[in-house]
Structure 1
Amino acid sequence: MSVTHPLLSRRPLRAAPALTLTEGATLSLGRLHEGCGGARRSFAMLVAARLAAGGDRGPIWWIAPAWQAEQLHAEGVAELIGPERLIFVRPKRAEDVLWTLEEVLRSGTAALAVADIPGLPGLTAVRRLHLAAETGAEGGRLAPLGLILTPGPGGAQGVESRWRTEAEHRGQAQRWRLERMRARMDPPKLWQMQRAEGEGFTLTPGRSEPHDVRAPCPMS
């Protein structure tokens, strides 16, 4: 009779649950990710649209400070997800933005929770958000995806992955450059993100070229 070493297991390894954006581009559920760049809110809507395409119809929490002027464009959102799914929270204190995100992730009641913040969170805050997302996924509850939106090139420490999105529109064509800047298990990579009027996003592998951010993003 063979004896299994106490530090080993014969159980097959299970892949962590993840959201697929396109082939070779995934976001682990139950973790915190970062979206940055001038079109970071378009990236958040790409994530929301992919969740909806996968059958998720739960609420999407969108948390931003009360003094922030930029808001989502209702008509643009309606073409991607049901706007009735959005729950907006606008705390008056900066520290309450991440506190609200933490509580939503811990509850395990939403597939996606987004915090649009004006700066970078500290490493301790990021670790707390990871723990909250993991807690929300325990006991058979919904595995939430946490997403912080940060300005410029981002740079939050400890996030599971960082994605930068910049507008590269050409005439009437809506195009963006999507760059996976870092991820725990995947190398940096580029995609071109496109969207036709009345349709969702499509992603195709991109080439390494300098950023072109001359055109504004309609969602940022």
Structure 2
Amino acid sequence: MTEFRTHFPPVNARTHEVCGPSALSFALALAGQLGGTVLWLREAWWGDQINPVGFAPYLDPQKLLLALAPSHLDLLASAEEALRSGSVALVVMEITKPVGLTEGRRLQLAAQEGNATGLCLLPEGMGSNAAQTRWHCAPVFDAARPATDSTLQRWEITKNKSGTLKAWTVKWDAQTRRISVVSEAAQR
């Protein structure tokens, strides 16, 4: 457990990446852990809408700002400005195209300047060399567990500029708004 706490939440004032089927859960849990205002950016062409009330088990919906960018470049520019501003704790970017090394480095510098955390939600296999860490998150399916226990997830660091690669089975606790590591013995 102690080792997990040295990795999550990820290092502040840096930009990180997450992919996998549970990437959204990772972003919500991170937002809940960091507290403060969260800016959630996505491209305007997406047909579905994000419902802030659905985030309530993770964070106060009043602390969530949703913004639609006309293009990928506008999304990155908006994220950079928000990170640099120092007005938000977290900027979540739903990325659909690769982030170049220059753009990724600009996001890192903006996060450092504004003392904020950036998080790119991206498709698997895509990522920037500038990211501090990259996580892969997926649900854990176990036929032996009760159907009511659907929150187990495997969070794995697949890239880490300043440490080792590691994986944990975790569970969200809505009452405490915290991630708990599930021990190997408890998984059986």
Say which of 2, 7, 13 aligns to 1:30. 13
| TM-score, with length taken from structure 1 | 0.72
Contact 1:40-1:149 within 8 A present in 2 as well: yes
Whether 2:91 is the aligned partner of 1:113: answer yes
> Structure 1 pair 25/71, CA: closer, same or farther in 2 (3 Å)?
farther
Contact 2:133-2:160 within 8 A present in 1 as well: yes
Whether 2:34 is the aligned partner of 1:51: answer yes
Contact 2:17-2:135 within 8 A present in 1 as well: yes
Whether 2:127 is the aligned partner of 1:155: answer yes
| TM-score, with length taken from structure 2 | 0.84
Consecutive unaligned residues of structure 2, counting only runs of 5 or more, are none
User: What residue in structure 1 maps to residue 148 of structure 2?
Assistant: 172
Measured in 1, the distance between the counterparts of 2:3 and 2:39 equals 20
User: What amino acid sits opposite 1:190 in the alignment?
Assistant: A
Q: How does 1:123-138 map to 2 (within 5 A)?
A: 123-136=101-114
Consecutive unaligned residues of structure 1, counting only runs of 5 or more, are 1-19, 53-57, 137-142, 208-220
CA RMSD of aligned residues (A): 2.3
SS in 2 for 1:45: helix
Higher percent of residues as helix? 2
Measured in 1, the distance between the counterparts of 2:48 and 2:183 equals 29
Say which of 174, 177, 184 aligns to 1:200. 177
| C-alpha distance after superposition, 1:73-132 (max 9, x if no partner) | 545411111001111110122211111100101111111111111132011100111111
Measured in 2, the distance between the counterparts of 1:64 and 1:45 equals 15
Q: Point out 4+ residue stretches in structure 1 off by more than 6 angstroms.
A: none
Contact 1:190-1:206 within 8 A present in 2 as well: no
Measured in 2, the distance between the counterparts of 1:68 and 1:181 equals 28
1:199: Cα distance to partner?
Answer: 5.7
1:178: Cα distance to partner?
Answer: 0.4
More deviation, 153-162/64-73 = 64-73
Number of residues of Structure 1 aligned to a counterpart in Structure 2:
177
Measured in 2, the distance between the counterparts of 1:81 and 1:158 equals 28
> Structure 1 pair 23/176, CA: closer, same or farther in 2 (3 Å)?
same
**Greater C-alpha radius of gyration:** 1
> Structure 1 pair 46/147, CA: closer, same or farther in 2 (3 Å)?
same
User: What residue in structure 2 maps to residue 139 of structure 1?
Assistant: none
Contact 1:181-1:188 within 8 A present in 2 as well: yes
User: What residue in structure 2 maps to residue 144 of structure 1?
Assistant: 116
User: What residue in structure 1 maps to residue 69 of structure 2?
Assistant: 91
More deviation, 82-91/186-195 = 186-195
More deviation, 165-174/81-90 = 165-174
> Structure 1 pair 191/102, CA: closer, same or farther in 2 (3 Å)?
same
User: What amino acid sits opposite 2:6 in the alignment?
Assistant: G
Measured in 2, the distance between the counterparts of 1:45 and 1:201 equals 11
> Structure 1 pair 40/152, CA: closer, same or farther in 2 (3 Å)?
same
User: What amino acid sits opposite 2:139 in the alignment?
Assistant: A
User: What residue in structure 2 maps to residue 140 of structure 1?
Assistant: none
> Structure 1 pair 102/49, CA: closer, same or farther in 2 (3 Å)?
same
User: What residue in structure 2 maps to residue 218 of structure 1?
Assistant: none
